[in-house]
Each structure stands twice: as C-alpha cells, then as structure tokens.
Amino acid sequence: MSTLYLGDTVPDFQQDSSVGPIQFHQWAADSWVILFSHPADFTPVCTTELGLTGRLQEEFAKRNVKPIALSVDDADSHRSWIKDIDETQQTAIAYPIIADKDRKVAQLFDMIHPNQSTTVTVRSVFIIDPQKKLRLTFTYPLSIGRNFDEILRVIDALQTSDQHGVATPGNWRPGGDVIIPLTLQDDAAIKAKFPQGYTAPKPYLRYVSLG
C-alpha cells in the first residue's frame, strides 16, 4: 500500500471499467480529474452521489474536469448499477466507473483503511491537475454523502489560485475577493501584478478583487 501526498504525481494504472479498459494517465490527458471511490455497487449513498455527478457533468466540463468513479465490483456489475442510477437519479451516466475487483487501484491510492474495512474502499475523493499532481483529498465515512458543491468550489479555488497566483479565504466563492500570498512581498511587484490596488487590514492580510 502506498501513501500519496499533496503535490505527488498520482500513479498510472490500467484497469477495466464500465466503458472498457482505461489507461489512467492517457485517459486523463490534459484535463483535471476528480477520482472518487465507493465501497461497492448497489449501495444507497453512492447511488445518489453518482447520480449527482451525472447531473453535474456539464459543470465539470466547463472547468476542464473529467470525473471518474471506482468501485470494487466488476464492469458488468457497474453497467447494471448505472441503469439503476440513471433511473432513480434522473440522469445519464457518461463517465467511467473503474472495476477494481483486484483492489489494485485501491492499493495504489491508499483507499483501504483497515479500521473501516479490510475488504472495501473508503469513500475518498482525489482532485488531480493536468500535470497529474494530487492537489486535494477528502475522505468520508461510509454513511455520509459527499458535498459536490464543495468539490466544485475547491476546483474553482485551485484553478483561480493557479491562474492568478493568489490564495483564497475561508468560504471563498468565484467573484469574491482573494488574498495576496505572503510569498509576494515586493511592493513594485505587487503593484504590477495587481494594478487595481488592494486592502490590507493587517500587513499580512491583503485582499484584492480580481474584477
């Protein structure tokens, strides 16, 4: 079992899926990826999450994000489950579900937590950038549904941070003020980067609007 840290290049793998075999890095190409795991097919909480992801596929596409799910059952089981998801959640699943029957991907991404279960994956979320770097992780207990509004929010925050070289305050949403990071201290460089000016209630707390 490996341990992944933020900033690590995520492992590549080949595995079967609901849409056929996938070579992960090749499939991801130059997109962001959200990889989220499930303990088993035909489970109630996960059914709602996969349906929600299906309904959010356009939102992910706007952000150049490819969703991909994982469950420990085989591809035929996944395809049967997708029929139930589409029916009960009023959606059409167009993204892959990895068939991880041999737990290969679960081991690579450290998804088996023995104090939860020695046989099924915990419900993890991995946000991966186009350079295949791990940028953010969440891990949820089996009984608690994931917050996909928060997943979209942190993707927006990561992309805004990368694009503008800024940080984001707590509860930030697109359009809100951002923070000039402490790594940027030169006044001339700050004025050149943010000619619109900024407010600083404390020398270390500098807010700026991106307009």
Please answer whether residues 206 and 200 qualify as being in contact, where contact means their C-beta atoms are separated by less than 8 angstroms.
Answer: yes
> Which one of 33, 46, 50, 178 is the catalytic residue?
46
For residue 91, the 8-state DSSP code is: -
The edge-to-edge listing of strands for the beta sheet with 205-208 is 178-179, 205-208, 199-202
DSSP, residue by residue, 58-73: HHHHHTTEEEEEEESS
Which helix (H) or strand (E) covers residue 134, if one does? strand 134-140
Within 8 A by CB and 6+ apart from 192, the residues are none
Residues across the chain: 211
d(CA 202, CA 182): 12
Annotated catalytic residue 85: no
DSSP, residue by residue, 15-77: E-BBTB-EEHHHHHTTSEEEEEEESSSS-HHHHHHHHHHHHTHHHHHHTTEEEEEEESS-HHH
Catalytic site residues? 46
